[in-house]
Amino acid sequence: MRFLYLIFSIISFLPASAQWRVLKLDTQANFRAVHAPQPNVCWIGGSGGTVLRTTDEGDTWDIMHVRDADSLDFRGIHAFDRETAVAMSAGVAEEGKARIYRTDDGGDSWQLVYQTTQPGVFLDGVSFWNKKQGICFGDPLDGRFFILTTDDGGLTWRELPLESRPVALEKEAAFAASNRSLLTVGKRQVFIGTGGGKMARVLRSEDNGRSWQASETPLPAGPTSGIFGLQFWSNNHGIAVGGDYADVAKDAPNVLLTRDGGVTWRLSSGMTPSGLKEAVGLFHSQFVDYAGGQRPTKHRYRLVAVGASGSGYSRDFGKTWAMFSKESFHAASFAGASGYAVGGKGLVGKFEKFPKKRSRR
């Protein structure tokens, strides 16, 4: 039974940039997880056990609190459709905050499908390849990243054997900032972006997480810096974004590009605006399954990166960037041309339009 369920109609839109419409919703929860599985459907996870859902492209929202989850912060969410979603809480396992919930009735009820109190476990992200196969990961435990997998749509989860988990460097970890440091691509690929240690790396698997390889990157890393978000638009071409959460406006390299499926990564030009970028989404004028397709034409796709220092967008797959907005969003998700971004204190934005391209003289 749902603990609290409200249908909240948007009364007005707050003033904002022309690119995002900031929605006035009756919540002050902090949001770091958002997933739009279809153009008209979006789910959002936040603090206080809060979950939001729209099924009409953001015109109305369900604002719900998962029962017995008031102390949880849902920093990972993956939705299959308007009825089914999985929500993951990021927090100390010893305090009962490493949990995964699932609903198949639009949030009317939530089932606790995984919980652990193992010392040291801290979940960072959750994602699915399809409606059955999924993966969840957390910070290193016993020198290796913590990995969970599911083959039944998230109803049950099993821990990957320690010897099959990716080896972590000293002080290496991941950032549960946007649910985008974990990314599933196509039918079998999965990527994890890291930081915290002396270098930022991308961990990758070609067999649904059963075995792993690691790639070093030139992105600056440290206790509060590294890779925060990943996105691919084909099996070979992708982007990683990051920065330093202790200095969100720091003008430092924050974009990596790959052309060989994540084996090697190179720095791209700095983003506008500069500073921390926590997630990057892929806009397309039509709703298509881009993950396993051919490389798209640059005239129909745009990359949108969000972070505490503002948002930027790229028309050329991350080579150059332009200012998009000044709002402090932590995460974003697009389904075709429909997009949503979320941040602290109830901040939710709906994609409006891109700035007009300036004509050359």
Mean pLDDT for the chain overall: 91
**pLDDT tier at 287 (50, 70, 90 boundaries)?**
low
Pick the closest to residue 284 from 336, 343, 355 (CA basis).
336
Q: What pLDDT, on the 0 to 100 scale, is given for residue 5?
A: 32
Q: Could you tell me what percent of the chain has a pLDDT over 90? A: 85
Q: Above 70 in pLDDT, residue 8?
A: no
**Cβ–Cβ under 8 Å, residues 136 and 76:** yes
Report pLDDT digits (tens) over 49-106.
Answer: 999 999 999 999 999 999 999 999 999 999 999 999 999 999 999 999 999 999 999 9
- How much is the pLDDT for 355? 79
pLDDT at 3 over 50: no
213-255 tens-digit pLDDT:
999 999 999 999 999 999 999 889 999 999 999 999 999 999 9
pLDDT at 309: 92
Judged on CB neighbours under 10 Å (0-12, 13-18, 19+), 142 is exposed
pLDDT digits (tens, 9 = 90+) for 271-284: 989 999 999 999 98
pTM of the model: 0.91
Please give the share of the chain, as a percent, with pLDDT higher than 70. Answer: 90
Half-sphere exposure of 218 (CA within 13 A, CB side): 12
DSSP state for residue 96 in the 8-state scheme: T
Is 12 within 8 Å of 24 (Cβ atoms)? yes
Which has more pLDDT, 32 or 13?
A: 32
| Farthest-apart Cα atoms in the chain, separation | 63
Mean pLDDT computed over 110-121: 97
Which CATH number describes the domain made up of 4-351?
2.130.10.10
Tokens of 249: 């406006």
Rounded Cα distance, 128 and 103, in Å: 15
pLDDT value of residue 134: 98
For 196-229, give the secondary structure using H, E and C. Answer: CCCCCEEEEECCCCCCCEEEECCCCCECCEEEEE
Predicted pLDDT at 158: 97
